[in-house]
A and B are shown apart, each in its own frame.
Chain A
Amino acid sequence: MYRIAVLLLGLVLPLAAQHENEKPKHPFVGDPAAIEAGRALFAGGCAACHGAEGQGGRGPNLRERIYWHPVDEETLYRVIQKGVPGGGMPAAQLSEDQTWQVVAFVRSLTAPAIESPAPGNPLAGEALFWGKGGCGECHSIRGRGGKLGPDLTNVGATRPLPQLRQDILDPDASGVNGYKSVSVVLRSGATLAGVARNRTNYSLELQEANGSLHLLSMSEIQEIKLSKGSPMPKDYAQRLNKVELDDILAYLSRQSARPIEPKKEARGN
């Protein structure tokens, strides 16, 4: 369990580290207009090999390898401009500004969602989140909502938009660190059910749907039933149409524990 915890933490924490190490930032990075321009350029010239959302194909995945070996913006710029001689990637025929737009788009794939524009209507997404989507039954935002799933108050400030999309459409792929469904039968005969916030060979920290935490020693437990995957419903691809999904993503991408700082005006464009 702990190994899983460490691995999954790795999905989020290096993003933060990456931010701190990347100075100075080019003004296009994080600029919505530049990212959209970059998206179009990427679709035209890069997506054939790297995938439309940078998920990889003939060329490398630009979303996940970066967790282990983050590439800084200057390096991205250089690789786009010069290509990878002998490695199959041609030099892009792009101006300086266009290259930075592509960098801004690639960067947005791994940057926290609040740093990138999200298509969709956040107000409609809010209504869906707390209504038809049923998200608030398990997830909380600023103290409102359920206790079984991860708190989402700061999710836009910590997770990239493509990751959020995957979280909704394929929860098992996103991992369930600290939120695996668990039910236990105690040696006393009592039963408990909820999520395992942590579990080792020796102890289990079980959280019930009402938020109650139970600190259990394994010696107290007769039997543990654990779900393999995420307890989150797996059918959101059917339950939500594309517009609704974009709306929820727009709402989630704006969730930040501290206020979102306005972007400085970008150069050019």
Chain B
Amino acid sequence: MIRHPLLLVFLSVAGLGQVRYEDILRGPAENWLTYAGDFQAQRHSALKQITTANAGSLVPKWVHHIPKANGLRTNPIVYNGVMYVTASNELRALDARTGTLIWQYKDTRSKKEAVNRGAAILGDRVFFVTGDIHLVALDRRTGGVIWEKQYGKVEDGLYASSAPLALKDQVLVGVAGGDTGMRGYITSISASTGEELWRTYTIPAKGEPGSETWGKLIEYGGGATWLSGTYDPELNLVYWTAGNAWPDFFGRDREGDNLYSSSLLALDAANGKMKWYFQFTPHDTHDWDAQAWPVLVDLPYRGKMRKLVLHANRNGFLYVLDRVTGEYLNATPLVEKLDWASGIDAKGRPILVPGKDPTATGNRVCPSVRGATNWMSPSFDPVTGLFYVMTLEQCDVYTSSSLDPEPKKNFSGGGAGPKPADIGEFFLRAYDPKTGAKKWEYPVVTPTADAWAGTVSTAGGVVFFGDDQGQLVAVDARNGEHLWHFGMGEGLTASPITDAVDGKQYVAIASATAIFSFGLFEPAAREPAPKIKLQ
């Protein structure tokens, strides 16, 4: 370990100060304070110690294994040298320099084991959800419980997996379970007291506006809210996506558009009221949840600066919307394997190709059920102006079942998967969001096409992403040229982040069972050991 003279006078005082709302607004640098790094989900860090010139000398700095973990989805949060990661019903605080466990909290009384996408941080608190839908607030320094709030019931076909979104004095959370028949919602809970402030359902109740777009199954319509959301502080709007309509693959009993499934919702953060919505996939029958990140960018667009939201959707299109009004502006194909719609019309509605619904005997449709992309995080680099998205070129055979739907029984009205000889291929692609044009791509050559890791871009000009062989890969943000890779030996189901402690930049990511952190190589130094006295 290199000794820094500065360290002798400057200590990492992780406990002092508060994580202020304004700190989150500043965007990611040393700290990484939301799932997506900032409120906009740009996942672009101001750190630039790791560059295209030196990325080749990255080495693993530490690994922290989480016993019994399997398929970790956690996105680390880092504040003042402390990293917060989650697993099922569990949150751990790690020393971000060493991976050493500082404390852990495990909710042993949870009724449900579930994947968990990570924590949120605000003030002196860190928040996470349990599988059985409790939001837990812990003292971020000691791990002590401050409050715990149940905001849903497993008995209603729900569970929880999303990373909370903390802003001002509220924490927003969602629910999962959309493939089993449930009714999705987003709930706001007071960060100070744990009280519920508002709740907005993604599927209208019978008689409410939008209910006319449903048939018989509206009460189990789905529209799960299992990812986190983004936020525009000036507009005070929260952007949150809703999942598929239920039953996933069989639409006979739910004729109509099935609002607000497979949609992006813009909600007033003050009261949860819907300002606008945009439905990407009306009457979805391919399980194309809208769960991909609504990335907020301000760009000159068709001659004037506009507040935009970019959305690389599972249905195969890259959408650009006006985030003030929800106005549809443009959609371009993300992938070549796309045959269910011939395009998107002037109002943003897909132009359907007939005969692309699932059938009893199976119908090959592109993209696949996993989508042209999915919840793996994209990133937007304001320097290159490029939008980096992990994309999957794959078609699946979609089957449907006319069995009577059974809510809460893991019944999805069919299924989907590729033919063995028709396995697809992943690409990291860089798009110009102003035109939708693909600027470069980096093929991920593997036999399995089973990647779930997203990206992070940096001011050092490096984009990091994970592939489906467990490799963390660094490429040049300008042209996608390979700079470095490291195999973690197991699948990746989480996206990388970058942070810095004591002036050293790290790149961290969860593998299936562990947290890895990488940094630039430094030779080990001889260090004097302190005198230790036992009293």
Identify the A interface with B (CB < 8 A): 5, 13, 15-16, 19, 140, 142-143, 147, 151, 153-154, 157-158, 178, 184, 186-188, 190, 197-198, 200-203, 205, 207-208, 210-228, 256-258
Contact = CB atoms under 8 A, between A and B. Distances in A.
21 contacts: A13-B106, A13-B108, A19-B108, A140-B142, A143-B146, A147-B144, A151-B145, A153-B144, A157-B108, A186-B11, A198-B102, A200-B98, A203-B95, A205-B102, A211-B142, A212-B13, A215-B501, A218-B527, A224-B530, A226-B532, A258-B134
Nearest to B147: A142
Interface in B1-16: 1, 3, 7-9, 11-16
A210 B15 contact: yes
A218 B100 CA distance: 13
Contacts of B7: 217, 219-220
Given A140-B142, A142-B146, A223 B108 contact: no
B12 A215 contact: yes
Contacts of A142: 145-147
Contact of B103 (A197, A214, A227, A258): A197
B100 A205 contact: yes
Contacts of A219: 1, 3, 7, 525, 527-528
A151 B13 CA distance: 21
Contact of B143 (A143, A151, A210): A151
A215 B142 contact: no
Contacts of B146: 142-143, 153
A178 B93 CA distance: 13
Nearest to B11: A214
A213 B141 contact: yes
Interface string B519-535: 00000010111111111
B412 to A, nearest CB: 28
Interface of B: 1, 3, 7-9, 11-16, 81-82, 95, 97-98, 100-103, 106-109, 124, 134, 136, 139, 141-148, 150, 501, 525, 527-535
Given A154-B145, A210-B15, A211-B141, A226 B3 contact: no
Nearest to B529: A218
B533 A215 contact: no
A168 to B, nearest CB: 19
B3 to A, nearest CB: 5
Nearest to B527: A219
Contacts of B1: 202, 217, 219
A215 B535 contact: no
Contacts of A187: 8
Contacts of A197: 102-103
Contact of B144 (A151, A217, A258): A151
A226 B534 contact: yes
Contact of A207 (B3, B15, B147, B534): B15
Nearest to B530: A221
Nearest to B107: A257
Contacts of A216: 11-12
Given A198-B100, A225-B535, 6 more contacts: A143-B144, A147-B142, A205-B102, A224-B533, A226-B533, A258-B148
Given A215-B97, A257-B136, A222 B531 contact: yes
A153 to B, nearest CB: 4
Contacts of B103: 178, 197
B8 A188 contact: yes
A207 B533 contact: no
A212 B139 CA distance: 11
A24 to B, nearest CB: 16
Contacts of A226: 532-535
A257 B108 CA distance: 10
A188 B81 CA distance: 20
Given A212-B16, A257-B107, A223 B530 contact: yes
A188 B533 CA distance: 19
Contacts of A256: 109
A213 B82 contact: yes
A197 B142 CA distance: 9
B15 A228 contact: no
A142 B14 CA distance: 21
A228 B531 contact: no
A78 B103 CA distance: 40
Nearest to B99: A203
Nearest to B143: A151
Which of A201, A205, A226 is most buried by chain B, counting CB atoms within 10 A of its CB? A205
Contacts of A184: 530
A157 B527 contact: no
Which of B7, B11, B12 is most buried by chain A, counting CB atoms within 10 A of its CB? B11
A190 B147 CA distance: 36
Contact of A258 (B106, B109, B530, B533): B109
A66 to B, nearest CB: 16
9 nearest A-B residue pairs (beta carbon): A151-B144, A212-B15, A153-B145, A16-B108, A143-B146, A221-B530, A213-B14, A213-B15, A219-B527
A179 to B, nearest CB: 10
A198 B94 CA distance: 10
A140 B101 CA distance: 21
A88 to B, nearest CB: 35
A200 B101 CA distance: 11
Contacts of A200: 98, 100
Contacts of A147: 139, 141-142, 144
Given A203-B100, A208-B15, A220-B7, A151 B531 contact: no
A75 to B, nearest CB: 22
Contacts of A224: 530-533
Nearest to A143: B146
Contacts of A15: 108
B142 A205 contact: no
A212 B14 contact: yes
A258 B97 CA distance: 33
Contacts of A154: 145
A226 B141 CA distance: 21
Contacts of A225: 533, 535
Contact of B13 (A201, A205, A214, A258): A214
Contact of A228 (B12, B525, B528, B535): B535
